Amino acid sequence: MTGFGKHTALYADKKITTTIKSLNSKQLDLSTRLSSRYRDRELPLRALVAAEIERGKVDFNLLLEDSGNSDATAQVFNTQKMAYYFSQLKSFGEQMGVAVPAGGWFEQILRMPGVVQAEEDQSEEIPDEEWNIVIEACTKALAQLTDFRRQEGAMLEQVFKDKITNISALLLEIEHYEPERVQRIKERIEENLSKVSEKDYDKNRFEQEMIYYIEKLDINEEKHRLRNHLSYFLETLQGEAGQGKKLSFIAQEIGREINTLGSKSNHVEMQQIVVRMKDELEQIKEQVLNVL
């Protein structure tokens, strides 16, 4: 299920920004992007997110910036990267016969990514007050995401109810055509029988075949099971959390009964109604993937 949450908090001269977004997924797939100051706290942060979100493809970001309320953040050189770039440039220049620029490679090295960085507090210990603010920011961002997902869940619930109602209404439409359907079948049988002499067939065998034929075309049992499945879907929808898989299974059973109705109906208008039922059900199947 999709969702988004963001919260920004201030601590001293720092701005702590937490963003979290989620997309639908069958299990929890959590990726994190943390400021280097909080990188060693990744495990408790992941546990915090996992405790709130059961599943979804989740991107969690925790960034630390200068709040703008203090002097400009000092810039520092990453001497390890500078030494690496110098070694590479020098070796490549020698191999390719490229002359060393006036002033050496210093100007080129300064343009390399990661050479000049904002100085960040790298102290090992994070004060409790700061960490509490971080946790609060994460919690509020998660709360926003949860509210977002609840709103989407409420919309999905209404979609499911509407689709189930539409299928139920279509099932009633099918019943309107049943007397006509039975009459057509009866007339067809009588017409064919009028062309056949009693001497040409075994009466007992004929009765057995007729019973089999009538049972094969009877859809009362399918209608009864379909009504039960529709009711059970709505009942499950109102139940406890974590019913996504169960709703998916019920939707499969609904589809099975609809398919059987279509194959047994032997009536153009009824088959058209079955197609409309399938369309409604397909929309349920698409959306039920977003339910936990």
Residue pLDDT, tens place only, 71-118 = 445 567 778 888 888 888 888 888 888 777 766 777 778 777 777 665
Q: Is the separation of the CB atoms in 50 and 16 below 8 Å?
A: no
pLDDT of 121 above 70: no
- Do both 133 and 15 map to the same domain? yes
Prediction pTM value? 0.63
Between CA 50 and CA 153 the distance in angstroms is 19
- Do both 218 and 234 map to the same domain? yes
Q: Is residue 108 part of a domain?
A: yes
- Do both 174 and 274 map to the same domain? yes
- Do both 35 and 134 map to the same domain? yes
pLDDT of residue 97: 81
pLDDT of residue 55: 80
Which residue spans within the chain are E strands per DSSP?
Answer: 3-11, 14-23, 28-34, 56-66, 75-77, 116-118
Higher pLDDT, 125 or 122: 125
- Do both 198 and 180 map to the same domain? yes
Q: Is residue 58 part of a domain?
A: yes
The string over 26-65, giving b where at least 16 C-beta atoms fall within 10 Å of a residue's C-beta and e elsewhere, is: eeeebebebbebbeebeeebbebbeeebebbbbbbbbebe
Strands 3-11 and 14-23: antiparallel
| Nearest to 257, CA basis, from 284, 231, 230, 236 | 230
Three-state SS string across 188-256, please?
A: HHHHHHHCCCHHHCCHHHHHHHHHHHHHHHCCHHHHHHHHHHHHHHHHHHCCCCCCHHHHHHHHHHHHH
| Nearest to 232, CA basis, from 139, 167, 170 | 167
pLDDT of residue 75: 63
Q: What is the mean pLDDT of the chain?
A: 83
- Do both 68 and 79 map to the same domain? no
- Do both 53 and 140 map to the same domain? yes
- Do both 51 and 85 map to the same domain? no
Q: Is residue 123 part of a domain?
A: no
Q: Is residue 97 part of a domain?
A: yes
Residue with tokens 């960490």: 131
- CATH number of the domain residue 60 falls in: 3.30.230.70
Split into its structural domains, the chain has a count of: 3
- Do both 22 and 157 map to the same domain? no
- Do both 105 and 203 map to the same domain? no
Residue pLDDT, tens place only, 173-203 = 988 887 777 777 777 776 776 776 666 666 6
Phi-psi region at 104: left, alpha or beta (left = phi > 0; alpha = psi -120 to 50): left
pLDDT of residue 256: 94
Q: Is residue 122 part of a domain?
A: no
Between CA 18 and CA 9 the distance in angstroms is 9
- Do both 93 and 202 map to the same domain? no
Q: Which domain holds residue 205?
A: 151-288
Q: Is the separation of the CB atoms in 123 and 5 below 8 Å?
A: no
- Do both 132 and 253 map to the same domain? no
